[in-house]
Structure 1
Amino acid sequence: MTNEAIPSLLSGGHIRASVNGALGLITLARPEAMNALSVAMVRDLTQVLKHWAQHPQVQAVVLMGQGRDAQTPVFCAGGDIRFFHRAALARDPDLAAFFTEEYALSHLIHHFPKPTIALMDGVVMGGGMGLAQGAKLRVVSERSRLAMPETQIGFFPDVGGGWFLGQLPGHVGEWLALTGQTLGAGDAVELGLADVFVPAQEWDALLDRLQGAPQPHAEHVVATVMERAELAPDAEHLAHRARIDRLFGQADLGSILNAVSADQGDAWGSDVLQQLQHNSPLMMAVSLALVRRARRLGLADCLRLERVLAHQCFASHQAGGHSETVEGIRALAVDKDRMPRWQPPTVADLKASAVEAFFADPWPTGGHPLAGLA
C-alpha cells in the first residue's frame, strides 16, 4: 500500500486523509454527528496511521475535526452512542469490535513513532479525548471544551481515560471522572490535558498553512503551530484545587457525596452536587475504582482493564437484565427524556459486590482481546 493508494475519503467520507510534504493530515468529517466515531472510522484511522508509521515521507501527523457552519467547532464528541444502543439491542458483534479496536487505536496513537498533533478546537469528549491525549502536541483554543462525561450515560471514562485521569495532580482525576465536568483551555493546559493555546482567530490561518503551505519536515510542522501559540487563559477551577483534593480524596463514593453535600454555600459546590446526583451511582463507583486502580497500571494494562469494564457494561443486557449504559443512552439520546432509571437509584443503595463484579475478567487466560498490547 503506497501513500497514493490511500483514498482521500474513507468511511464513506467520514475520514479524510491527505499528505502535504512531510505532513499527514487526518480530518474527522462527520460534523452532523459531532464527528462521533463509528467502527468504520476507527478501522480507517488505524489503517492510515499504521501505514504512515512505516512511510518515510510522512514525518508528522495532524488530527483535526471538520467544523460546523455557524456552530461551535468539534474535534470529536466520542463514540457513536446511538450505535451503541442499537447494537446492544440487536446483539450486534460490531459493538464488541468497536471497543476492542478503539482501545487498540488509542494505544497506537500513544506509541506512534512520529510526532502527532491534535488540534482540539471545540468539543473534545470521551473517545475524542482518547484520540487526542495520545498526541505529542495537544492544541486548544478558547472554544475548546474537554470532558469525560461517561457517568452521565451510565458508562465510565474509557479509551485510556482511567490512565490519563489517574495521572492528573491530586484527586482531580476522581473529580473529572465522577462529575463529567467540562474544562476550558486554561484548565486543560494547567492540568496537563493540553499543551499549547492558539487563539480562535488564528485557526483559519493555521489550517491554511498546514494544508496548503509546504511542510518539508516535522520540525517545520511543529513550528507552524508554535508560532501562533499564546499564553492560555486563566484556569477557571484553579482556585478550587485544594477543595477538589479534600472532597474527592475521600475513601469511597458515599464519603465523597457526603463531603460534597456538607460543602455547599456557593455556585461551584452546588454544581458539583447536582452533577453527582444526576449521574449513575453504580458507574460513578466503577469509575472511582478505575481511576484509583489505574494509578498503579501502565497504559496497556489500563486499556485491558477498561475493555473488561466495557464488556460488563453490556453483558447484563445481553443476558436479559438491566444495563446502566443502555438505559443512560436511552434517556439522553434516544427517548431524550433525560430521566434515566438507574439501578440502584442512589449511592446509599449501592453494594460493593456490584462494583467488584465489573472488574471480573470474562476471558480465559490469554484470551483477552487486547492481550497483544505491549
Structure 2
Amino acid sequence: MSTSASPAVSDEIATHVIQRIGFIELERPKALNALSTGMIRAMHAALDQWREDPEVLAVVVRSQHARALCAGGDIRFMYEAAQRGDQQARDTFFTEEYRLNHAIFTYPKPYIALMNGIVMGGGMGISQGAHRTGGLRVVTQTTKLAMPETRIGLFPDVGASWFLARTPGAIGRYLAVTGETFGAADALYAGLADTYLDEDALPALLDTLRGASFERGADVVECIEREAAAYRVTPQPEESALAKMRPWIDRHFALPDVARILASLEQERERGGEAAEWAAQTIAVLRERSPLSMAVSLEVVTRADASMADVLRTDLDLTRSSFLLGDTVEGIRARIIDKDNAPRWRVARIEDVSAADVAKMFDSPWAANEHPLRDLRG
C-alpha cells in the first residue's frame, strides 16, 4: 500500500494520498464540520496540489464523524463579522468558498463525496460538483440534505442553484424556497445524488480503496459502484417522499412568484382532499421563512441556467446584499445566536415583497472588471 502525506494548512482538515487517491477528511466535529476560512483554504490547497499530480487519480472527501459530512458555512463567524462591521472578513470567506466550489465543479479528476449524515448549505457546495467530474455523490440512510438558507434570511448559495435548477419539474424551486430537508431516496430521485451505500458499509469501502490498486480515476469510481451495487435504498427513489409530492410541488411551485405559490397552496388547503394536509404544512413553513429571501431564492433558481461561474458571481453579489439590505443578520440572530425564533423580517408578509425589492438584491457592488470572481470560467 502506497501512502504519502500532503501539507495541510488547517488542523480542521486532514489530507493524504493512499493508493493514488487523495483523501480530504473534515475534522471539526463539534461544529458538525461547518466550514471555516482555514478549512476552505486547506481543501483548495490540496486540490491544487493534486490537480496535475500523476500519482493522484481521484479525490475522496469524507468525514470521520458519523453525524455530518458538513453542516454548512460558519454562520456564527459571519454574524460576528457583521456585528464588527468587518465586511472584508465576510467577502473573503464567501469569495474563497465559491472559488473552492468552482474548483470542485471543474476538477479534471473524479471527485467523490461520501455524503453521510448532515450535508447542508456549504456541505452541498463541496459535494454537488462531484457529479460534473466523472465522480460520485454517495448517500447513505443517515444522509440529511438541505439548502435551509431561507430560514436564516439567506438564499441557496455555493452554486447550489445550478443543481436545483436542473432537478425534475419544480423540485428545485420547492427546495430553494422552503429549505426542507430530504434524504437519500429523495436525492437520488431529484438527481442530487448518484449512488447509495449502507452507512455500515463505509468502513469496508474505505478499506477496499486503501488496499486496491488503480490505474485510472475511472477505476476508483467503478470500484465504489461495485461495492454499492450490493445495497438498495429504502424506499426506492420512485417511491420517495419527493416523488410522491412531485405532482403537488409542480402544480404550485412552478408559479412565478412566492405570493402566487402561497395563494395556490391556500386554495389547495381549502379544497380539502389528499393534498390539503401537505399544503397546510407547506404554508406553515413559508410563513416562518424570510419573505424577501424566499423571493430571492426563487429568482436565483430561475436565473441559474447560466454557467456555474456566472451563478457563483451572482451568489457573491447576493451575499453582500443579503447581509446589508436583507434579513441574514436578523435571521442568524433569531435562529442561531439568541435562539428566540422570533425574527423581525424587513418585509413582514410574503404578499408585500415587490419585484423591485428582489431586483435590488441582485445589483452587484462591483464593476464586471473588478468582480472578485471575474476570472472564473465554466
Name the TM-score, length of structure 2 as normaliser: 0.91
- Secondary structure (helix, strand or coil) at the match of 2:15 reads strand
Deviation at 1:351, TM superposition (A): 2.3
Rounded to whole Å, the distance in 1 between the matches of 2:208 and 2:320 is 43
- Secondary structure (helix, strand or coil) at the match of 1:201 reads helix
Q: Number of matched residues?
A: 358
Identity of aligned residues (%): 44
8 A Cα contact 1:60 1:221, kept in partner: yes
1:362 aligns with 2:360: no
Deviations 1:191-222 (A, max 9, x none): 10000000122122123333x42443334422
Find 1:81's aligned residue among 67, 75, 91.
75
8 A Cα contact 2:5 2:16, kept in partner: no
8 A Cα contact 1:153 1:279, kept in partner: yes
1:298 aligns with 2:311: no
Alignment-derived partner of residue 41 in structure 1: 39
Deviation at 1:361, TM superposition (A): 1.4
Deviation at 1:4, TM superposition (A): 5.9
Rounded to whole Å, the distance in 2 between the matches of 1:310 and 1:52 is 30
Deviation at 1:225, TM superposition (A): 1.5
Rounded to whole Å, the distance in 2 between the matches of 1:22 and 1:267 is 52
Rounded to whole Å, the distance in 2 between the matches of 1:95 and 1:355 is 22
Letter of the 2:108 counterpart: P
Find 2:299's aligned residue among 266, 284, 289.
289
- Secondary structure (helix, strand or coil) at the match of 1:25 reads strand
Alignment-derived partner of residue 319 in structure 1: none
Letter of the 2:6 counterpart: I
Alignment-derived partner of residue 343 in structure 1: 346
Rounded to whole Å, the distance in 1 between the matches of 2:42 and 2:51 is 14
- Secondary structure (helix, strand or coil) at the match of 1:262 reads helix
8 A Cα contact 2:162 2:304, kept in partner: yes
Deviations 1:169-209 (A, max 9, x none): 11111100000111111110011000000012212212333
Rounded to whole Å, the distance in 1 between the matches of 2:174 and 2:246 is 10
Deviation at 1:267, TM superposition (A): 3.8
Rounded to whole Å, the distance in 1 between the matches of 2:288 and 2:136 is 34
Rounded to whole Å, the distance in 2 between the matches of 1:283 and 1:232 is 34
1:202 aligns with 2:201: yes
Deviation at 1:232, TM superposition (A): 2.6
The correspondence of residues 132-151 of structure 1 with structure 2, limited to 5 A, is 132-135=127-130, 136-151=135-150
- Secondary structure (helix, strand or coil) at the match of 2:129 reads coil
Rounded to whole Å, the distance in 1 between the matches of 2:284 and 2:227 is 38
Find 2:290's aligned residue among 275, 280, 291.
280
The correspondence of residues 17-166 of structure 1 with structure 2, limited to 5 A, is 17-68=15-66, 73-92=67-86, 93-135=88-130, 136-166=135-165
Rounded to whole Å, the distance in 2 between the matches of 1:304 and 1:58 is 30
8 A Cα contact 1:171 1:244, kept in partner: yes
Rounded to whole Å, the distance in 2 between the matches of 1:219 and 1:240 is 35
8 A Cα contact 1:156 1:284, kept in partner: yes
- Secondary structure (helix, strand or coil) at the match of 1:134 reads helix
- Secondary structure (helix, strand or coil) at the match of 1:55 reads coil
8 A Cα contact 2:101 2:126, kept in partner: yes
RMSD between aligned alpha carbons?
1.6
Rounded to whole Å, the distance in 2 between the matches of 1:215 and 1:346 is 59
8 A Cα contact 2:19 2:211, kept in partner: no
Alignment-derived partner of residue 232 in structure 2: 231
8 A Cα contact 2:4 2:17, kept in partner: no
Alignment-derived partner of residue 174 in structure 2: 175
Deviation at 1:352, TM superposition (A): 2.0
What runs of 5+ residues in structure 2 fail to find an aligned partner? Answer: none
Deviation at 1:224, TM superposition (A): 3.2
What runs of 5+ residues in structure 1 fail to find an aligned partner? Answer: 317-322
- Secondary structure (helix, strand or coil) at the match of 1:62 reads strand
Alignment-derived partner of residue 6 in structure 1: 6
8 A Cα contact 2:5 2:15, kept in partner: no
Deviations 1:222-256 (A, max 9, x none): 23322221333221221221211110011211100
8 A Cα contact 1:189 1:232, kept in partner: no
Rounded to whole Å, the distance in 1 between the matches of 2:207 and 2:338 is 41
Deviations 1:21-53 (A, max 9, x none): 210000111110010001111111111101100
- Secondary structure (helix, strand or coil) at the match of 2:268 reads coil
Rounded to whole Å, the distance in 1 between the matches of 2:6 and 2:199 is 31
- Secondary structure (helix, strand or coil) at the match of 1:124 reads strand
8 A Cα contact 2:6 2:17, kept in partner: no
Alignment-derived partner of residue 312 in structure 1: 321
Letter of the 1:85 counterpart: Y
Rounded to whole Å, the distance in 1 between the matches of 2:277 and 2:42 is 44
8 A Cα contact 2:148 2:180, kept in partner: yes
Rounded to whole Å, the distance in 2 between the matches of 1:54 and 1:88 is 38
Distance 1:94 1:66, change over 3 A: farther
Letter of the 2:233 counterpart: A
Rounded to whole Å, the distance in 2 between the matches of 1:174 and 1:372 is 29
Rounded to whole Å, the distance in 2 between the matches of 1:228 and 1:111 is 26
- Secondary structure (helix, strand or coil) at the match of 2:33 reads coil
Rounded to whole Å, the distance in 2 between the matches of 1:219 and 1:290 is 33
